[in-house]
């Protein structure tokens, strides 16, 4: 524990702390460009120079370990002069184009130039110019602005695990470049824009659209995968201009996947902004009252057993809860939130959650991934696995279609027979899991959405007992969900009631004519042609496949337009906030359901969102505290029985990272990414030549 003095204040810090970090503990901020607390130290910008007594020259504080008895001066004339000189050097080749630079207003160089820059330059020679690089459809480059901090190189190499950027040449000619002019293939590339302290890397879709000071900032959460990253939605007027990550150490640290960041232009496309009613085979615009009248007419005459509901992947807990109550009051037990038919057992809450928690991954010492590709299903969670891997002493194995996961995972095989061998103890990795102190298994939807999904779940449950996945203070059994709505749906019991049918049963019954009406709450990934004969109400925000088969379309709100609660794959309750209003006639979903219940003569027992939430929390402990994880209850689940290798290899539930839901499917940016980068990680790897 070295004790040192910084600006006259004494501080004790753990050995290995840098002088810069020690200063931060005292609340003394030292300017920096290249230093970032989540990246390896490079010490190449020299902006953090300080004076240390008994040292002949100014010292880069980010790379200098705190030593016993050091006397550091961060504000002495020598330190300030050193920083001014560094700033002058950095500005020699930096263009004076702040007025046309997208970084303007949130630029580290601009801010620090105010503090340390001179009002004019003494450099009269020619400035250098650097050729722009093609980094794909998400990142716009202006490489002449680059100050060579190498944050981008370090992020891609360390955090993202896709080493495709580097600094070539030296001195005056040094420049950051991509891997021979190819688009970056990382799902986390958007973070480079946040990390770049200058305007060299800026967001391409957002280019020249807004200035930071004219944006209204709303803190919310992301729902385009099941991780529930903390985000900030920046809106101007009623348009979402961009999404940035927010710090949440338990979930996303400060990273965000490219889809979550850039699919937002899909929020303005293909929107359902008015109710529609099918007349003579065509969907025609209608008023709310007309739409409700049709619903009253069709549903009123049906017995409860002929009505069913399916919830989609983006539904908020409140609307699922309201729809469940509505179905109850109509007397229908047919409802399901598993539109993909995943064999998740709603009776045991620990059976469908990521019980280890995302931050808990860092404590694990062995991991088996089955039927999942976390890199494309949950890139931020995958970065956490990589972070754990980099610390060393972490055995990772993967059963499923081979893919580059950004860390070297031992590929055991791609079929259920390999998994069976591990479960039976016949495979050597069984011993690895058994010997581990804190082993983990991650089951993906690629495994659970198969016909033998329930048996795979049962086999995993059996494995959990055999290798001790669950013990005191540790639960290593994890299911990686891909839908933001799923855990909340299961917790709320948006699953078949007594004698009820699941998604597959509902579709079959609709085909057979046994179910006459189906309510789709944003459910699009189902076999919609089964619904040809049934009366279909589609409540949602995008004109995707679900709306095309609908007889009545009720325009709902997207996640940026309503206050809604979501449980992420861990079971963490988080709340999305309204940043903008729903377009046109669209309304918040719980309100639509409340209004329908009134029309059907079975009013739901709440009139406000608060009352709804109180009622919801009463029946389900998961919603009692926001930002908290209520640990799942462990028990018996899954089916016994032989796995079926004939069903093919264990794939990933996500085939194209950039298009997984109605919002990203409507997004032009995501379409460009699919075209230029390719959404499938298994077809490309970071080291392919």
Partner 1 sequence: MSETFLAESIQPTAFAFSEENAKAAEAVVAKYPKGHQRSAVMPLLDLAQRQEGWLSRAAMDVVARMLGMPPIKVYEVATFYTMYNLRPVGRLHVQICTNISCWLRGAPEVVRAAKEVLGVEFGETRSDGAATLSEVECLGACANAPVMQVGDDLYEDLTYESTKAVLTALLAGEKPPVGSQTGRRGACPCCGATTLKDKAGDHVAKEPAKPKAKAAAKPGKETA
Name which of 169 and 280 has its Cβ closer to partner 1: 169
Q: Of these, 180, 281, 392, 473, which contacts partner 1 (CB under 8 A)?
A: 180
In contact, 681 and 561? CB cutoff 8 Å: no
CA-based torsion, 340, 345, 349, 350: positive or negative: negative
Nearest approach in angstroms of CB 146 to partner 1 is: 13
Q: Please choose, from the candidates 388, 404, 383, 405, the residue with its C-alpha nearest in 3D space to the C-alpha of residue 160.
A: 383
Measured from the CB atom, the residue of 51 and 187 that comes closer to partner 1 is 187
The single residue among 57, 120, 122, 170 that binds partner 1, judged by CB under 8 A, is 170
Structure tokens at 656: 């194209």
- Rounded to a whole number of angstroms, the minimum distance from the CB of residue 381 to partner 1 is 23
Three-state secondary structure readout of 501-544? CCHHHHHHHHHHCCCCEEEEECCCCCCHHHHCCCEEEEEECECC
How many angstroms separate the CA atoms of 172 and 28, rounded? Answer: 33
Cα 648 from chain centre: 29
The only residue of 1, 168, 207, 646 in contact with partner 1, by rule CB under 8 A: 168
179 near partner 1, judged by CB under 8 A: yes
Selected from 173, 280, 281, 392, the binder of partner 1 by CB under 8 A is: 173
Judged by beta carbon, residue 166 or residue 603, the one nearer partner 1 is 166
Closest distance of CB 153 from partner 1, Å: 9
Closest of 189, 136, 193 to residue 163, by C-alpha? 189
Q: Least separation, in Å, of the C-beta of 262 and partner 1?
A: 24
Does residue 687 interact with partner 1 by CB under 8 A? yes
Residues in contact with partner 1, counted by CB under 8 A, come to a total of: 21
Q: In whole angstroms, how far apart are CA 424 and each of 148, 367, 415, 419, 473?
A: 53, 17, 15, 9, 26
Rule CB under 8 A: say whether 184 interacts with partner 1: no
Provide long-range contacts, Cβ within 8 A and 24+ apart, for 175-182. 175/130, 175/131, 175/143, 175/146, 176/133, 176/143, 176/146, 176/148, 176/150, 176/152, 176/200, 177/133, 178/133, 178/134, 178/135, 181/133, 181/134, 182/134
For partner 1, the closer CB: 18 or 178: 178
Which residues, in sequence order, are CB contacts of 409 under 8 Å at separation 6+?
369, 396, 397, 398
Distance spanning both ends of the chain, measured CA to CA? 48
Give me the least distance between CB of 256 and partner 1, in Å please: 24
- Rule CB under 8 A: is residue 167 a binding residue for partner 1? yes
**Is 391 a binder of partner 1 (CB under 8 A)?**
no
Three-state DSSP class for residue 349: helix
Binding of partner 1 at residue 122 (CB under 8 A)?
Answer: no
Q: Is 124 in the site for partner 1 (CB under 8 A)?
A: no
Stretch binding partner 1 (CB under 8 A), from 32-40, 161-169, 468-476, 637-645: 161-169
Residue 169 binds partner 1, judged by CB under 8 A: yes
Answer yes or no whether residue 175 interacts with partner 1 by CB under 8 A: yes
Taking residues 277 to 316 in sequence order and writing x for each that binds partner 1 by CB under 8 A, - otherwise, the string is: ----------------------------------------
Residue with Cβ nearer partner 1 (146 or 308): 146
Nearest CB to partner 1, comparing residues 152 and 480: 152
- Which residues here bind partner 1, judged by CB under 8 A? 131, 133, 157, 163-170, 173, 175, 177-181, 686-687, 689
């Amino acid at each position: 524990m070295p004790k040192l003095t910084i600006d006259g204040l004494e501080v004790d810090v753990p050995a290995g702390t840098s002088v810069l970090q020690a200063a931060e503990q005292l609340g003394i901020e030292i300017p920096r460009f290249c230093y970032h607390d989540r990246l390896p130290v490079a010490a190449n910008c020299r902006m953090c120079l300080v004076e240390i007594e008994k040292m002949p020259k100014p010292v880069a504080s980010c790379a200098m370990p705190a030593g016993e008895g050091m006397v550091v001066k961060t504000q002495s004339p020598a330190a300030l002069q050193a920083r001014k000189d560094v700033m002058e050097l950095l500005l020699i080749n930096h263009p004076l184009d702040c007025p046309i630079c997208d970084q303007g207003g949130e630029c580290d160089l601009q801010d620090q130039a105010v503090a340390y820059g001179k009002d004019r330059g003494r450099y009269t020679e020619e400035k250098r110019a650097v050729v722009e690089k093609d980094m794909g459809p998400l990142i716009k480059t202006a490489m002449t602005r680059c100050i060579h901090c190498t944050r981008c190189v370090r992020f891609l190499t360390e955090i993202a695990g896709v080493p495709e950027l580097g600094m070539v040449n030296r001195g005056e000619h040094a420049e950051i470049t991509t891997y021979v002019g190819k688009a970056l293939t990382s799902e986390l590339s958007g973070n480079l824009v946040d990390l770049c302290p200058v305007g060299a890397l800026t967001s391409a879709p957002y280019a020249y659209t807004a200035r930071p000071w004219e944006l209204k900032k709303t803190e919310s959460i992301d729902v385009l995968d099941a991780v529930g990253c903390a985000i900030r939605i920046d809106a101007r007027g009623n348009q979402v201009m961009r999404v940035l990550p927010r710090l949440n150490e338990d979930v996303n640290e400060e990273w965000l996947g490219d889809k979550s960041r850039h699919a937002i232009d899909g929020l303005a496309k293909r929107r359902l902004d008015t109710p529609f009613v099918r007349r003579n085979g065509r969907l025609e615009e209608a008023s709310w009252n007309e739409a409700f009248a049709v619903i009253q007419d069709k549903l009123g005459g049906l017995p409860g057993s002929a009505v069913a509901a399916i919830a989609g992947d983006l539904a908020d807990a409140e609307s699922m809860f309201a729809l469940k109550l509505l179905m109850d009051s109509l007397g229908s037990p047919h409802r399901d939130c598993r539109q993909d038919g995943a064999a998740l057992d709603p009776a045991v809450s620990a059976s469908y959650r990521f019980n280890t928690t995302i931050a808990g991954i860092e404590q694990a010492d062995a991991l088996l991934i089955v039927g999942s590709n976390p890199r494309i299903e949950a890139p931020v969670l995958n970065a956490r696995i990589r972070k754990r891997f980099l610390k060393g002493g972490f055995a990772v194995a993967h059963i499923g279609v081979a893919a580059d996961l950004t860390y070297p995972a031992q590929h055991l095989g791609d079929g259920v027979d390999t998994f069976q061998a591990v479960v039976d103890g016949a495979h050597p990795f069984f011993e690895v899991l058994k010997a581990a102190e804190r082993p983990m298994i991650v089951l993906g939807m690629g495994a659970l959405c198969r016909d033998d999904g329930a048996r795979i779940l049962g086999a995993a449950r059996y494995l959990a007992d055999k290798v001790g996945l669950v013990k005191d203070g540790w639960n290593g059994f994890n299911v990686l969900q891909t839908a933001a709505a799923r855990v909340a749906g299961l917790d709320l019991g948006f699953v078949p009631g007594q004698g009820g049918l699941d998604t597959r049963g509902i579709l079959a019954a609709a085909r057979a004519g046994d179910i006459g009406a189906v309510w789709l709450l944003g459910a699009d990934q189902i076999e919609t042609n089964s619904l040809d004969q049934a009366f279909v109400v589609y409540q949602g925000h995008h004109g995707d496949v679900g709306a095309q088969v609908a007889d009545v379309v009720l325009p709902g709100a997207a996640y940026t337009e309503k206050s809604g609660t979501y449980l992420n794959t861990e079971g963490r309750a988080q709340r999305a906030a309204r940043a903008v209003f729903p377009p046109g006639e669209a309304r918040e979903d719980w309100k639509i359901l409340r209004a329908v219940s009134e029309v059907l003569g079975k009013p739901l027992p709440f009139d406000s969102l608060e009352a709804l939430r109180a009622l919801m929390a009463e029946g389900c402990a998961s919603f009692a505290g926001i930002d908290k994880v209520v640990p799942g209850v462990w028990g018996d689940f899954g089916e016994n029985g032989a796995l079926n290798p004939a069903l093919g290899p264990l794939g990933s539930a996500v085939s194209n990272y950039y298009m997984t839901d109605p919002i990203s499917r409507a997004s032009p940016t995501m379409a460009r990414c699919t075209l230029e980068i390719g959404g499938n990680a298994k077809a490309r790897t970071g080291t392919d030549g």
